[in-house]
Structure 1
Amino acid sequence: MTAEIETSLGTIRFRFYALDAPETCRNFIKLAGSHFYDGLPFIRVSPGELIQTGAPREDMTAGPGYTIKAEFNGHLHVPGAVAMHRDRYPDSAGSQFYIGLADLPERDYQYTVFGQVTEGMAVVKKIGELDTNGPDGRPIPYRPLENIYITRIAILEPQGQP
């Protein structure tokens, strides 16, 4: 199963690691199916590291109203890894997720990787090159100066599957 993220800069597709992060994948699919992500901006671009979205408020304090249990697994933070953002507590992820631009070994086994980009890495890189308000930016650092939005997320079944 894959997700197709349509953004105002292009489309990104990623495959789910449903066997290794089943609850995280179910949560993402549920949120996407309810249109939770539609219209949300990419709220953080950490240059050379990651792009982040999924917060319904731009101050990054809100989520879906609940959290999910961490599912740390053997998938590493390589370019194109899709992972859940969380607060300082492992079981605090909800809706925010990020896509890696580089190897991020300091995040391995600390954040749940639940997918891998299969198409559209050029779009991820384009978002990752946006100008931001920098490390001291307010209300949040590394906020892109240009708003790039998720217009829709579709969940695609494998061909030949119902």
Structure 2
Amino acid sequence: MDSAKIGRRSLLGAAGLLVASPLPAWAAARKPRVVIQTDHGAIVVELESEKAPITSANFLRYVDARKYDGGTFYRASRTKGVKGAGSIQGGPPVRVRRFAPIAHESTRMTGLKHRAGTISVARNAPGTATADFFICASPAPYLDAHPGAPGDNQGFAAFGTVVEGMAVVKTILALRSDGPAPFPVMKGQILNPPVQILGMKRQA
């Protein structure tokens, strides 16, 4: 056997070992994390940028442009009869100019679910989401896509989860919420006063 063939086989064998061997922790792609600093403490969310690339990139675009700074958590939607269950909703200041709406990434597409700690993007009709988001304080499977259901059954676009600060989420959910509601469905859910978002940035 000539030396060229031996060389090629040696390279192929080495490549096989690399494929078979698990990558060290530092070599694995790290999911982006964002620190949401509020006047009630910090919440750290980890984004599913591979499973929900459109929604994650949109959120990071607002974060990097500092458009959430000075915004608020303004809504606490509680599950009736279940203490500590529900979600909190936030967004940028009203004066902020928003980017164009994004395509809807349903949970059926991404495989993500609305569990305790899930961060998801708010919307009206599918394809209208911009900057407002909400964080689940408890499991909310009714927010997932349900293709067999009547009407708008596409659910909301989950795109990450809280990795630090769930106590802050729970605290915000329990705050006074008798502010004036822009829609009847939100009566009793508007935080009074709203919780200030002091800043948002990627975690180093």
Match of 1:56 among 93, 97, 102: 93
1:39 and 1:55, CA in 2 relative to 1: closer, same or farther beyond 3 A? Answer: closer
Per the alignment, residue 160 of structure 1 pairs with: none
Per the alignment, residue 99 of structure 1 pairs with: 135
The correspondence of residues 32-51 of structure 1 with structure 2, limited to 5 A, is 32-47=63-78, 48-51=85-88
For residues 47-83 of structure 1, give each alpha carbon's deviation from its aligned partner in whole angstroms, at most 9, with x where no partner exists. Answer: 231000115339xxx8714200011221111110000
Q: Are positions 1:152 and 2:191 aligned together?
A: no
Distance 1:121 1:131 in 2: 18
TM-score, normalised by the number of residues in structure 1: 0.86
Instruction: Return the letter of the residue paired with 2:129.
Output: A
Structure scoring higher RCO (CA < 8 A, sep ≥ 6) equals: 1
The correspondence of residues 1-162 of structure 1 with structure 2, limited to 5 A, is 1-47=32-78, 48-57=85-94, 64-72=98-106, 73-87=110-124, 89-109=125-145, 110-133=155-178, 137-140=180-183, 141=186, 142-157=189-204
% identical equivalent positions? 30
SS at match of 2:168: helix
Higher fraction of helix: 2
Moved over 3 A (4+): none
Structure with bigger gyration radius? 2
TM-score, normalised by the number of residues in structure 2: 0.69
SS at match of 2:51: coil
